[in-house]
Structure 1
Amino acid sequence: MYTAASPTAAILPGRRSESLVWRRDDWRRLPIRQQPSWPDTAALDAVRNRLATLPPLTSVADVRRLEVSLAKAASGRAFLLQAGDCAEPMDASGAAAVRGKNRLIGAMAEAISDRTGLPTVTVGRIGGQFAKPRSRPTETVDGRELVAFRGEMVNDPRADERLRTPDPSRLLGAYRASKAVLNELYIIAHETAVRRLPDAWPAPFTTGHVDEAGLVRSWDGSLRSILGDYGETRRSPSGGWAHTGLWTSHEALILDYEEPLVRRDPQTGEWFLLSTHMPWIGDRTRRLGEAHVAFHAGIANPVGCKIGPSTTPDEVVGLCEALNPTRKPGRLTLISRMGADAVHDRLPGLVRAVRAAEHPVVWVCDPMHGNTERLPDGRKTRRVARIAAEIRGFFEVLRDVGERPGGLHLEVADGDSAECVGEGGPMSAEEIGDGYRTLCDPRLNEKQSIMIADLTGRLLARGGDGGSEQPVPAADEAVWTRP
């Protein structure tokens, strides 16, 4: 899979032999899943060439800073909260919604930290979550078979044959939309720094500022240089915890978009994917020897990998070896998405296998994707009680095996959306009405998100059981009671 390359090729991180190198386009020679059938390959090539000339969206300094925070989560000194839209919109509403998402995820993180006394690392499904894998290449809408909607990076959600045709120009739209989101995150970070130390930041993006220790920090274009503790909750002067900002993440699915945004660090020779801070591999594309794993193996970012109920112990250890051969803490996050009914059966063997192989991963629970139901009208929903049940099961499995839960991965929406059934939202599928606004899969609304964050904080603080008075709820039971 890895062959000798030009002098500009970087050594694959963790590989000991200089004869084994990684190239950005290695994935093109491997089997690949979940890619659009682009009808105009010449237009696609032109877009890829254009993307390769555009500035990176994120910085190497920030990517490295996030990996340090994730290393803390791997060792139990922090907790990861990764949350946001199932699929982001690429129009102006996406950037406009950044403040609401930042506020909600920040409130969730503060709730977890208040319960645990640990910093919470905050990563948004934001600034690039524009593509989605699909179970079928087509779907039936109003009796017509159309190309499946694969996210606004690829095609349009409207039921129109022409608009559903994959359009390479949308990749440039994804870049512009991501840039707008990142710009908003920079503004929010600066505003946070001004509130904390108003005399140190007289104007946006000055050449430097003085931090709490009296040290001058230089502005190098990174979020980290605005706030040294960016992306983690921190102790506030009032005694509680304060949110500092969001790192970005997305499923790096469409490799024709990702490859041109891989850039080399001139100081170390490492390759970084600078379309985001933390990319992840989906459960549908995590096969060893295939394109997505090979692509992520060569970048120096911290990487996530979804693992579902079909994953075997040998496969998960193989993924650890491929994606983090040097066993670097913070490099690899394994995101379990088993479903409430399968988590006790399928997860223990995977955790034991990784533990036996001595891989320092961040174990994260995604309680959303294994608990999706289809409504009679074709829309999807999720039951809050089943989401809570999978979280409890995840904590119980990790506790029993002797590992510490490292994080939570959720799909959430700020405001009063009505997409998930149960406490804090519509109590039955029949009550789902105009509040169903997702582009793809159902998200927890604001009240449900805070409830789930509080439940998670209690579970983490009490060693995984949330208190003996808290039974695992059935699918139609209330899930949240104050201790």
Structure 2
Amino acid sequence: MPEVVHKSWSPISWKEKPVKQLPDYPDQKELEQCYEMLKDLPPLVTSWEIDALKNKLADISDGNGFLLQGGDCAESFDATKAPKIVNMVKVLLQMSFILIHEMGIPVLRVGRIAGQYAKPRSNDFEMVDGEEIHNYRGDLINGFESESGIRIPDPQRLIEGYHKAGLTLNFLRALSEEGFADLHHPEQWELDFMRNNEYYAEYEEMVSSITKAVKFVEAIAPDTFTTLQKVDFYTSHEALNLYYDSAQTRPVPRKPGHYNLSAHMVWLGNRTRELDGAHVEYFKGINNPVGIKIGPPFEIDETLKLIETLNPTHEKGKIVLITRFGKDLIEEQLPGLIQAVRREGFPVVWSSDPMHGNTFSTGGGIKTRNFDDIIREVRSAFAIHRSEGSYLGGVHLELTGDNVTECVGGAKGLEENELNRNYETFCDPRLNYEQSLEMAFLVAREWKNSRG
């Protein structure tokens, strides 16, 4: 593994830099106590898993595979329940199942799960019933309820977040290791409300095709293949609360450098990628593969310096560039970025986040996204990469396996007046189960179109 020695770097050297999107904790002594407690807790993931993910991302950077990264906008502690986790795993498995069947290449599954508990905010405070209170920044920092006391940043939530992530990871591993994704029984992945979707017949045909293929393989090779029963599933989150992430960052035996052992992959947000900022200082010292969200406003030269700072050895599989321009700006801004990255020879994985640049509020003040806008950005991203001789190797989606009503449009034609029917998200609107599977079909088709 390439190694660059950052002589002045440590897991807490970020404290010497300007820090954004981190609230002022009123009790600094309690914060330090929670930080020290978190440092002593066992890691949530292993360095071997992290290195395996990086190797698979390296393959994708060469055009050999596709990254499906998706999950909740912001996980809730209260949603750490078996049905929620099962539904999330189901939808990601089914989406990957569709992509593999349609594209014929390996699909890498990375969930926004088991750690996606913090969210950036434009303002530190908001007015509620005439009172100024802290903005909700995710369960890792404060509570969603509007009482001022619940909104005060609470260091104990760092510990609770660790335990919730651990419970989620334990269940994820049990599901993936013990046959939940067994290709002998793909019909078990179905959720009932898919039946009314226009793609259901096509999905059912794919299930039948997979089942026949499995039976054929076993007929000529009777030994059971464990690869037909188990899947690899990796976790990721935005490393926003640096107390949480740096506490779980440590060296491991017989390997150089430090690993963030709270997740397999972490990403740098669009609001925290300043070259002289605390988050970049932290990110430059970890061995994990890292994502970089790139969207307006941004400068190409600064982005190139950022990639060089985080990956000075040009290690394959290290950087995932997650572009989020919005349907109206992508054709203007993405081509120049692709050209500049290629000119510098950076071996990045290109991924499209078509969600964050396409958010709007209805006349009634409900935050939503239009499915047509989302797929329009996906189509543009594939077309631009093809015209530039580049490879779009992934998508980054906010989604859920539940039957929520948060994004309008899709095959079922969800209207704005239906959003209140089952609007659950505390932050950004997510694709529901049917919209997610429809997105998988459409992404696969755009991928095939981009390959000629």
Q: Same fold (TM over 0.5)?
A: yes
- Identify the residue that residue 168 of structure 1 maps to in structure 2: 155
Measure, in 1, the Cα distance between the counterparts of 2:442 and 2:77.
32
Runs of 4+ residues over 4 Å off in structure 1: 193-197, 238-243
Identity %: 39
Structure-to-structure mapping, 1:315-330, within 5 angstroms: 315-330=302-317
Contact 2:405 2:423 in 1 (8 A): yes
Contact 1:302 1:332 in 2 (8 A): yes
- Identify the residue that residue 288 of structure 2 maps to in structure 1: 301
- Identify the residue that residue 237 of structure 1 maps to in structure 2: 214
Structure 2 unaligned blocks of 5 or more: 185-209, 218-226
| TM value normalised by structure 1 | 0.82
Measure, in 1, the Cα distance between the counterparts of 2:416 and 2:181.
45
- Identify the residue that residue 400 of structure 1 maps to in structure 2: 387
Equivalent in 179, 189, 197 of residue 192 of structure 1: 179
Q: Kindly tell me: are residues 275 and 437 of structure 1, through their superposed partners in 2, closer, same or farther at Cα, counting changes over 3 Å? A: same
Q: How far has the Cα of 1:459 moved from its partner?
A: 1.0
Equivalent in 286, 294, 301 of residue 273 of structure 2: 286
The answer to whether residue 339 in structure 2 is matched with residue 365 in structure 1 is no
Return the structure number with greater relative CO, CA threshold 8 A, min gap 6. 2
**What SS does the aligned partner of 1:83 have?**
strand
Measure, in 2, the Cα distance between the counterparts of 1:142 and 1:109.
45
Amino acid at match of 1:387: I
Measure, in 2, the Cα distance between the counterparts of 1:283 and 1:194.
34
- Identify the residue that residue 66 of structure 1 maps to in structure 2: 53
Measure, in 1, the Cα distance between the counterparts of 2:394 and 2:240.
22
Structure-to-structure mapping, 1:244-263, within 5 angstroms: 244-263=231-250
- How many residue pairs were aligned? 416
Structure-to-structure mapping, 1:445-460, within 5 angstroms: 445-460=432-447
Contact 1:418 1:425 in 2 (8 A): no
Structure-to-structure mapping, 1:120-199, within 5 angstroms: 120-192=107-179
- Identify the residue that residue 105 of structure 1 maps to in structure 2: 92
Structure 1 unaligned blocks of 5 or more: 1-11, 198-232, 466-483
Contact 2:6 2:285 in 1 (8 A): no
The answer to whether residue 40 in structure 2 is matched with residue 53 in structure 1 is yes
Amino acid at match of 1:263: R
Contact 2:175 2:181 in 1 (8 A): no
| TM value normalised by structure 2 | 0.88
CA RMSD of aligned residues (A): 2.3
- The more displaced of 93-102 and 237-246 is 237-246
Measure, in 1, the Cα distance between the counterparts of 2:437 and 2:181.
27
Q: Kindly tell me: are residues 425 and 166 of structure 1, through their superposed partners in 2, closer, same or farther at Cα, counting changes over 3 Å? A: farther
The answer to whether residue 448 in structure 2 is matched with residue 461 in structure 1 is yes
The answer to whether residue 56 in structure 2 is matched with residue 79 in structure 1 is no
Contact 1:383 1:420 in 2 (8 A): yes
The answer to whether residue 318 in structure 2 is matched with residue 341 in structure 1 is no
Measure, in 2, the Cα distance between the counterparts of 1:427 and 1:244.
33
Measure, in 2, the Cα distance between the counterparts of 1:19 and 1:371.
38
- Identify the residue that residue 356 of structure 1 maps to in structure 2: 343
**What SS does the aligned partner of 1:306 have?**
strand
Q: Kindly tell me: are residues 337 and 90 of structure 1, through their superposed partners in 2, closer, same or farther at Cα, counting changes over 3 Å? A: same
Amino acid at match of 1:33: K
Structure 1 residues 68-99: Cα deviation after superposition (integer angstroms, max 9, x where no partner): 11111111100000000000011353554221
Contact 2:121 2:135 in 1 (8 A): yes
Measure, in 2, the Cα distance between the counterparts of 1:74 and 1:142.
50
Q: Kindly tell me: are residues 87 and 172 of structure 1, through their superposed partners in 2, closer, same or farther at Cα, counting changes over 3 Å? A: same
